[in-house]
Structure 1
Amino acid sequence: MHFHRQSAQVSLALLIASTITFGMLVLTLVLVGQSFRGMENAKATAAADATHQLTVSVNDRIRAIIEPTSVTLTLLSHDPLTRASSLDARLQRLPVIADALRQNDIVSAVYTGYDNGESFLLRKVRSSGILHFPDAPQQAWFLLQTMTLDDTGTRIGEWRFYDRNLQLLRQERRPDYNYDPRERGWFKAARTTAATHVSEPYVFYTTRELGLTLSRQAAGAADNINSNGSVSGIDVTVSDLSRQIADLRQTPGSRIAIINREQTVLAYSHPDRLPARTDQEDPLYHLEEIPDSPLPMASGLADSERAERFTLAGEDWYGMTAPLTTLGPEELTIVIAIPADELLAEVWSALARQTGIASLIALVLLAAGWMLGRRVGRPLEQLTDRVSSLSRFRFDTPIRVDSRIREASKLSIALDDMAGTIHSFQNIATTLNRGQDLHTLLGDILDQIIHILGQHRGAIYLFNRGNGELGLATTHNLEGPKTIPDIRPDSDDSDIIRSLRGPFSGHPVFAILRNRKKQLVGTLIVEMEDGDLSNISDDLAVFVDEIAGSAAVAIETRELIESQQALLEGIIRLVANAIDAKSPYTSGHCERVPKLAQMLVAEATQARDGVFRDFQLSETETYEFHLAAWLHDCGKITSPEYVVDKATKLETLCNRIHEVRTRFEVLHRDAEIRYLQDCLAGGDQAGARTRRDQEQRQLQEDFAFIAAANIGGESMDDDAVARVHQISSRTWQRHFSNRLGLSAEERRAFAAAPEARLPVTEPLLADRPEHIEHWGERVPPVTRDDPRNRWGFDMDLPEHAYNRGEIHNLTIRRGTLTPEERFKINEHIVQTICMLDALPLPDWLSNVPRLAGTHHERMDGRGYPCRLSGDQMGIPERIMAVADVFEALTAVDRPYKEGKTLTEALGIMATMVREHHLDGDVFNLFIRSGVYREYAREHMKPEQIDEVDEARFLS
């Protein structure tokens, strides 16, 4: 390596600047931390002050609720109502107490209880926005509940409903109303004092509201002057306390509650978060019942001058408690919990500002330290030497800078070399990891190695184990032979290098490529033209050898991947060919459908307008579709051949029409025998002959009809079906046992019924129990409610696996397949999905089962096996369906139909589009692109290829 000469240099001492800056940063952090702690404490103290102020505010609000009501109650204790002894006299004071209710929204009821157990109570029908008496008249505003005694001392309860102007709306006796004020706590408490008594907060029985009861003896009751011992009371609701304390929150996330000594919640700042209650439940909540609330932990904190910090569910809170003194003996407490992040939001903002200022100061100090330390740089020489030790080869990344500082200059050179080395290794790693094609991979590897070494020519040879020679795989401006023969696979590296020196002159460097098993893979050759060619260092040789080793592993891996992919492709084609070879009537189907489908996909990806303008498949998706197309019918390998190839209705493994014909032969011969017997008996020969001829002629006609029905070429109408049943009712006699010469499976079919006594009379055609093959334990998981169905199949499952009944088969309305056989054929798609789903496919091939298993679905959701609609299928799946239908219509190797012409096939497919069987957009693309003509020229007979009027089918 050559170092650029520079003029005299001075030292650089970054250490000084770093030390100064670090010291200032530590000092700044300490000061900021102390500042944060101080602000945090100040915030906590301020929160406690705010809590005590909140307590004062709540006390004031409670006092504002109680004091006006207490004044009203005092006035009421002097009212004539307290001394009225009759209901009429009391009713005259109704406007007075009605005014008390109208003028104060928080007053729920005003009432007076008398010493004899009578009572006079006026309440609002609607309070706190809630209608408490749903059966009240529509205009009702007040409800007067009275309890009086008649002359016999009988208690009479009455309810009167009044409108806002005290017009009576309805009056009714209430035998169930048996209110006795003397039994109430407010009555008893008021009798013990001459002052106003305030009850503890509780839930009103009638309205279920939270409130207080203020009660007071009638004026003069304490001295027994002009008083009958009555007590007046006023119910005051405190339901809006929750809303009021919500308005007093310090932060949006603060939680506030007012509780009593039993920790019952009387008010809560977030009432919408309380769990729902039924009508029968106590509407009051215990503090522990509030979900996800920090208040239970905060309630355990003692009242103090500052907030205390605690953690709940990973979130920090500040908690405080303070007593409420307004209600005296009730011992109410206000509990507050404030989220730490909200309380300290301003603290963090101030901390951020201080940190910014400290950072700016640190930058200024760094610049000053940098200027001061420029003259001191000796400690950096060791670091420079270490970094320079990495710089053994030349890399061309331009990082070098000119400097009068010796250490900085040497460091820039080392970093320049190191950066170039790292960059080159990155290129090598990218090439090894991302290379797909082996030839391209080898070319990229060679280019990178030549670039790393700073040379211009090189080549890679791969070993051919079969020929025992090295063949040229790729070259970069290096002239050499195409092959190097006589290379043994067990040769060591030195022998191989000696064999290579002959064809290559100059100063080449050789690296032998071996795989993980140390087997010979090939060789790398680099012509060394630049640098000191007389003394190639050992470090260079080791470096080239290590790079070559990585290249060998990459080559081996790529060859393995390509061979595995080729193996997978071969197995897929093997399965497809096996399916086609299984039946002579479907040969070529599994090969033709993929070709047609891929032709359509290619046209869809090239479309620049319409629904396909944005349709594109990546290379991986294209290969995934290719595999799915080849495997779209792999489930047919499980379909019984005699069902797939069933050409007549009575065909199973053989055509059972011959068995039926034998029975007709027996009946024909029986007619001949009866004729001869009549002749021998001396009967009327002419009449016997006529009967014989008529019977035999009918047998000929009936058999001809049955034989024609067996073909299944035309659809059967009701008359034809009825004639089959009529013919089947004819009987014949069997003289031989039907239990002899049977297989084990056939014997099991007969096991359910005993053998009939011979000879036995049987119908000419019959559906017998032995014709039924039950599912047993082989029920396929195709119904939605089957717990084994994890693929979403939704098919109609026939009652039996097979029904080979003769009448059942001969009365097939169209074609030759029974519903059971049709299901068995359709089941091939179920087996396709199950088989492919069972394969350990990689993630990038995970859609193969779906792509292969949806070509029998319909756009209207009436297809199978999952009843998917068009919206649930992608373009590749719709293309597969079109390709499968067109190939099936035009194929000439089916036993049950002839191949259609192009016009016939496209006409049928156009009808299927109108019936929402096939996708119209794919069908239009199929016609416009001319794919159908291209396919026809290669795979259809000339007589099938007619002139097509494309406009007739395009929509």
Structure 2
Amino acid sequence: MHRKRQSAQISLALLIASAITLGMLVLTVVLIAQSFRGMEAAKVSAASATAKQLAVSVDDRIHSITAPPSTALAVLSHDSLAGAQTLARRLERLPVLADILQSSNIVSAVYAGYPSGDFVLLRKVRSSGTLQFPDAPEATRYVLQTITRSSGEIPGEWRFYNADMQLIKRIPVPAYTYDPRTRPWFKAAKVSESTELSAPYAFFTTRETGITLSRKASPETGGAGTIFGIDVTVTDLSSQLAELRQTPNTRIAIVNREHQVLADSGNRNHPGPAIAGALNQAGEDIAGSPVNQFTAEGRDWYGMTEPLGALQQEELTIAVAIPADELLAEVWQALARQTVIAGLIALLLLVVGWFLGRQVGRPLEHLTDQVSRLSRFRFDTPIRSDSHIREARQLSVALDDMAKTIRSFQSIATVLNRGQDLNNLLQDILEQIVHILGQERGGIYLFSRQQERLTLAVKQKLELPETIDGLPADSDDNEVIRLLRQRTSGHPVFAILRNRRKRLIGVLAIEMELGANTQLSDDLIVFVDEIAGSAAVAIETRELIESQQALLEGIIRLVANAIDAKSPYTGGHCERVPKLAQMLVDEALVSDDLAFGSFSMTEEQRQEFHLAAWLHDCGKITSPEYVVDKAVKLETIHNRVHEIRTRFEVLWRDAEIHYLNRLLVGDYESAAERERRETRARLQDEFEFIARSNQGGEFMHEADIERIRTIGRQTWLRHFSDRLGLSPDEQQALKDVPAPPLPATEPLLADKPEHLRPWGEHIPPVRRDDPRNRWGFDMALPEYQYNRGELHNLTVAKGTLTDEERFKINEHIVQTICMLDALPLPDRLANVPRLAGTHHERMDGNGYPCGLTAAEMSVPERIMAIADVFEALTAVDRPYKEGKTLTESLTIMDRMVEDGHLDRAAFELFVRSGTYQRYAEAHLRPEQIDPVDESLFMKPG
């Protein structure tokens, strides 16, 4: 950028010399300012003294909190409770613990921890003015929490007492597994001979803020290793701090060394912005005082801190923040009066200065009009002034240069923000930087950490080596530049490109050969480095975006492959459906069919659909594998037909025993043999029928169902208990079922209460009236989560799944939507849960999970349903069916179209475009690819 040499101009100082009288105004302002600063300093000193006094008051309060409980704990350490080894003996000493609780309002709990892990704690139901146990029985005053490990387990128990220490209620709490031996208060007192005081913390059960005093039991009690503890709340400090405020909005807080709030005048549990500013000494320090001034919550504040002498090991601090407008209210009133006087003087001086100002202002008014265009972001406006005032002319030239520089920075900012492809981004960055510097030649190298090499990415009219090897990744800037100087010719300026972690990512080279910049200066080098820094951030950002996109794609494929790998029968489904769906979407985008005339997708929408297709079955990760892979009706974790075969074996041997018994009592051998033969033949036939019924089919006749029930009514004798060796789940199922006396007569097939698994607290939010259902699900919920009854499963009319298992299979789409909706997806991927979760909807509104109709489903959603159904029909890895041929699959899909299941337009596009054929050639077995008469599936126009 070249400038014309300017002739000497008249100095502006000569014109304003006659305005010296304006110094009177300056003097007035200085005096007012000094007065204000003096009054401000006095107020700040007073505030600092107040903070010191607050620290003394709070120290006294903390000492008053800890002294009485410490005395009570010293007395308790000699109590026989320390040596009590049974719960009964410990209960005898409850009055002692109750007396300690009654002695102080701030003591919330008294307890003893034993070296065996036993624990006894007496707690007030109401502490710190709050009811801590709202579910406690009426009239409860105390809660006794005990853990007794003498039985080898951890039988936790809570007991509720009234004010007279009379037991109201006792309840077992198995989940109460508190171990006092692991707590800091126990460990600290165990190795100490005196009372130990903990840091303030949130109590285990009530979450109140307080401190714990703990002390080892005296040896004379016989309780070696027993530790007594007292919990003391400090929550009332907050209300006391509020009473000590100097102004209505003064903030006072007590914090520990981690800046955790222990008490706050505003009843907060974390440092507010004002307190945080005081603690961090934000803003400016007030000279000569420990006070700092800062801005928070839209207001100016004065902040100060003082250390507390109490609990020195915790390094407690009291922080005070006072609004400046409240502290200086009186100062401002005095300042206003002085300002009125100064204003009158200024008015007189302004009349005099107006005349002089006009002499200076006229040449600048024109310049102001032009500069105002800059304020409206018109940086392409030339800035010129014909004034004879030297300073005005120089100002116009400087502003013009500034406008040109801003225009250049606008251009490079646009390039950095909008660049998508990395190569194009680098080329645009190089062109803009070369233009800003007023040069013509340059280049950008990118660094490879693996190869320790610089590779020329882009260049502009500058001959540079394509690669520069032998550059370690940890080289500093001087080493990089020294190596570049050795390998390149000319005298380019090098700017090292480093990312936010200061790692080398590349080098910018600019040949400085035009204008005044041929002579390098420190300012020019700094300027080039700053521009290069912006370019480095843009390059790193683009690389991060590309790597994040690749990572997201990899994670999604990982989830899909994990779902396919979970079941050997559905391997590849999550991979094949996206491919087929994408093929059909591509056909819809170029189709001239009326149904797809307005259909279009941006690149972001295509990416959104692609991710949704890969994740369309991610909910299957929650589906039990034995349900997904259920090949026969009696299969759970194993095929239960083997149990039934064993019962038939029992009946077989019973027939043999019956035959021998008849011979022993003298019956005719021929008649007994005939009966045995007939019974065994019947058993063989019945088992074969049961075994065949265990195989899933398309339909089961009512007569077959009735025969199964008839066979099941046969009985056998069980001599062994069915309550031994059970899992916790089985024990829970039999909890309310009494065990029959042995030997017990059992039906051959049965639906037993233990076969039922209720939903309990795990009811999925699929019913429309469920308040948790914010997705619009509308599905029928079976009465039970599982029904493993033998008759119930064997009499399934179609397939192998019961209604309960069918719901569990269908629920995978609910889990898909819920899982994807829980992800923090960006706006461009906001429709992924919907696209992934609607492929089981039907055009007639009878699908699931939301019962959407065709009018409520987009083209991509209808295409996803087509892809999912076709892949399922042709898949050869399902346990319940064989992979169908193309004609069979398309015939079934055509029938599904007629039944309102699939979309007619999407199906015909699928057939007409030959998408099914291309997919088959890539993924189906040769025997499945048969000739297809496409005209059979085209509806006449």
Q: TM-score range by the shorter chain?
A: 0.5 to 0.7
- d(CA) in 2 for partners of 1:533, 1:743: 84
Matched, 1:876 2:860: yes
**2:578/2:614 contact within 8 Å kept:** yes
Whether 2:694 is the aligned partner of 1:710: answer yes
**Matching residue of 1:864:** 848
Kept after mapping to 2: 8 A contact 1:648/1:816? yes
For residues 889 and 573 of structure 2, the distance between their equivalents in structure 1, rounded to whole angstroms, comes to: 16
Offset of 1:526 from its aligned partner? 1.5
- SS state at 1:487 partner: coil
Distance 2:366 2:474 in 1: 48
Quick check: 2:697–2:797 contact (8 Å CA) kept in 1?
Answer: no
Amino acid at match of 2:574: C
Give yes or no for contact 2:841–2:847 (8 Å, CA) kept in 1.
yes
- Aligned partner of residue 698 in structure 1, secondary structure: helix
Conserved 8 A contact 1:509-1:525: yes
**What does 1:225-244 align with in structure 2 at a 5 Å threshold?**
none
| 1:404-803 mapped onto 2 (5 Å cutoff) | 417-532=401-516, 534-803=518-787
Answer yes or no: is the 8 Å Cα contact 1:795–1:864 preserved in 2.
Answer: yes
- Corresponding residue for 1:200? none
Which residue does the alignment assign to 2:906?
922
C-alpha distance in structure 2 between counterparts of 1:585 and 1:874, whole Å: 31
Say if 1:7 and 1:404, in contact at 8 Å, map to a contact too.
no
Deviation at 1:539, TM superposition (A): 3.7
Cα displacement string for residues 665-720 of structure 1 (whole angstroms, at most 9, x for unaligned residues): 11112212222222333321222121111111111111111111100124101111
Q: Secondary structure in 1 aligned to 2:691? A: helix
- Which residue type is aligned with residue 586 of structure 2? A
Give the CA deviation at 1:434.
1.5
Deviations 1:516-535 (A, max 9, x none): 23332221112234335742
In 1, the alpha carbon distance for the partners of 2:629 and 2:429 equals: 56
Counterpart of 2:583 in 1: which secondary structure?
helix
Distance 1:691-1:529 versus aligned 2 partners, 3 A rule = same
Query: Counterparts of 1:813 and 1:526 in 2: how far apart (Å)?
Result: 80
Q: How does 1:56-205 map to 2 (within 5 A)?
A: none
Aligned position for 1:908: 892
Superimposed CA distance per residue, residues 13-54 of structure 1 (whole angstroms, 9 cap, x where no aligned partner):
xxxxxxxxxxxxxxxxxxxxxxxxxxxxxxxxxxxxxxxxxx
Query: Structure 1 CA distance, aligned partners of 2:794 and 2:498?
Result: 71
Give the Å deviation of 1:464: 2.3
- TM-aligned CA distance change 1:748 to 1:401, over 3 Å: closer
Cα deviation for residue 861 of structure 1 reads: 0.8
Q: Distance in 1 between matches of 2:8 and 2:472?
A: 60
Residues 838 and 459 of structure 1: CA distance in aligned 2, closer, same or farther (over 3 Å): same
Gaps of 5+ in 1: 11-374
SS in 2 for 1:512: strand
Change (3 A) 1:378 1:743: closer
Contact kept, 8 Å, 1:889 with 1:905, in 2: the verdict is yes
Q: What is the identity, as a one-letter code, of the residue corresponding to 1:552?
A: A
Which residue number in structure 2 is paired with residue 272 of structure 1?
none
**How many equivalent residue pairs?**
588
- 695 and 383 in structure 1: CA distance in 2 versus 1, 3 angstrom threshold: same
1:399·1:412 contact (CA, 8 Å) conserved in 2?
A: no
Show the 5 A alignment for 1:338-349. Answer: none
Residue 787 and residue 594 in structure 1: after superposition, are their counterparts in 2 closer, same or farther (change >3 A)?
A: same
Shift of 1:440: 2.6
Question: Which residue of structure 2 lines up, in the alignment, with residue 809 of structure 1?
Answer: 793
Q: State the shift of 1:881 in Å.
A: 0.9
User: How far, CA to CA, are the matches of 2:631 and 2:362 in structure 1?
Assistant: 98
Tell me if structure 2 keeps the 8 A contact 1:713–1:815.
yes
CA–CA distance in structure 2, aligned partners of residues 625 and 813 of structure 1: 38
The structure-2 alpha-carbon separation of the partners of 1:647 and 1:633, relative to structure 1 and needing over 3 Å to count, comes to: same
Taking the aligned partners of 1:872 and 1:468, their CA distance within structure 2 comes to: 56
Alignment of 1:20-35 (within 5 A): none
* Deviation for aligned residue 1:383: 5.7
Query: Does structure 2 retain, via aligned residues, the 8 Å contact 1:521–1:552?
Result: yes
Do the aligned partners of 1:6 and 1:404 also contact (CA within 8 Å) in 2? no
Kindly state the Cα deviation for residue 860 of structure 1 after the two structures are TM-superposed: 0.8
Secondary structure (helix, strand or coil) at the match of 1:502 reads helix
How far 1:626 moved relative to its partner? 1.3
Distance in structure 1 (CA, Å) of the matches to 2:701 and 2:734: 33
Identify unmatched segments of 5+ residues in structure 2: 11-358
- Say which one has the larger Rg: 1
One of 924, 927, 938 as aligned partner of 1:940: 924
Q: CA deviation at 1:580?
A: 0.6
For 2:503 and 2:422, the matched residues in 1 are separated by: 18
Partners of 2:870 and 2:389 in 1: CA distance: 80
Query: Displacement, 1:941?
Result: 0.8
CA deviations 1:394-435 (Å, max 9, x no partner) are x99795999999999999876664443322211111111122
Distance 2:630 2:571 in 1: 15
Aligned equivalents of 2:917, 2:463: Cα separation in 1 = 50
Residue 842 of structure 1 is matched in structure 2 by 826
2-side partners of 1:942 and 1:933: how far apart? 12
User: Would the alpha carbon gap of residues 798 and 507 (structure 1) be closer, same or farther in structure 2, given more than 3 Å must change?
Assistant: same
Distance 1:472 1:926 in 2: 48
C-alpha distance in 2 between matches for 1:503 and 1:608:
59
Paired letter, 2:898: R
Work out the CA distance in 1 between the residues paired with 2:912 and 2:384.
65
Q: Is the 8 A contact 2:423 2:457 kept in 1?
A: yes
**CA RMSD for the aligned pairs?**
3.2
Whether the aligned pair in 2 keeps the contact of 1:436 and 1:558 (CA below 8 Å) is yes
Aligned in 2, Cα 1:415/1:614: closer, same or farther, shift over 3 Å?
farther
Give the direction of change, closer, same or farther, for the CA distance of 1:7–1:749 in structure 2 (3 Å limit).
Answer: closer
Higher RCO (CA 8 Å, separation ≥ 6 residues): 1
Larger mean CA deviation between 593-602 and 554-563 belongs to 554-563
> Hey, what's the Cα distance between the residues in 2 that align with 1:948 and 1:7?
92
Separation of aligned partners in 1, 2:380 and 2:592? 44
Distance in 2, Cα, partners of 1:625 & 1:596: 12
Indicate the percent of aligned positions where both proteins have the same amino acid: 67
Q: What secondary structure does 1:678 align onto? A: helix
C-alpha distance in 2, partners of 1:757/1:867?
A: 51
Structure 2 contact 874–889 (Cα < 8 Å) conserved: yes
Shift of 1:382: 11
Instruction: Find the counterpart in structure 2 of residue 949 from structure 1.
Output: 933
The corresponding residue for 2:248 is none
